[in-house]
Amino acid sequence: MKGTLMLSWILIICLSQVAVQSQYYSKSRPYHPRPPKVTNLHFFMHEHTGVTAVVLTQANITSNNSSVPFATLVAINDPLRTGPEPDSELIGNVQGMSLLAGSNASSTQYIDFEFNTGKFNGSSLSVFSRGEAGLAVVGGRGQ
């Protein structure tokens, strides 16, 4: 009984100290957000079907008459260049995969843009898309 009474007093003292100490954190401070840092990147992915985009596997469906086979998994390893010309400066590579999952050639893609030269050497952007026009940046490394 004596031990229970002692434990109760210790608990009451500890709880009262928590209440006193928590008043320290009750003051609000104004929020000052950092100004956004904007970087504009311009690069071109040069894809050559059968050379840099290779079909890994595809479903065995005989009734599909579309030009793009349903359930096709494609591996991508494309050069990343500064311009649309095939001889423009090589600045990195693009690696990823694309799953063609719809009868209207819609695809789900995961692609990693890796930069090997210049200011962004060693950096990358990881993007994900589900057939929409835009790509969502979901990660990366470096700058």
pLDDT at residue 58 in the model = 74
Write out the DSSP string of 90-141: EEEEEEEEEEE-STT--EEEEEEEEE-SGGGTT-EEEEEESSSSS-EEEEEE
Q: Label residue 115 by pLDDT band (50, 70, 90).
A: very high
In whole numbers, what is the pLDDT of the chain averaged over residues?
79
pLDDT digits (tens, 9 = 90+) for 4-19: 778 888 888 776 666 5
Domains of the chain, by residue range, sit at 44-141
Q: What predicted TM-score, i.e. pTM, was given to this entire model?
A: 0.64
Q: How far apart are CA 18 and CA 38, in angstroms?
A: 44
Own/partner pairs, 124-131, CB within 8 angstroms, 24+ separation: 130/106, 131/102, 131/106, 131/107
The DSSP 8-state label assigned to residue 67 in this structure reads S
* pLDDT exceeds cutoff 60 at 62: no
3-state SS, residue 66:
coil
Q: Is the dihedral of CA 7, 8, 13, 15 positive or negative?
A: positive
* C-alpha to C-alpha distances, 3 to 6, 7, 8, 9, 10, nearest whole angstrom: 5, 6, 9, 10, 11
CA–CA separation, 35 and 50 (whole Å) = 45
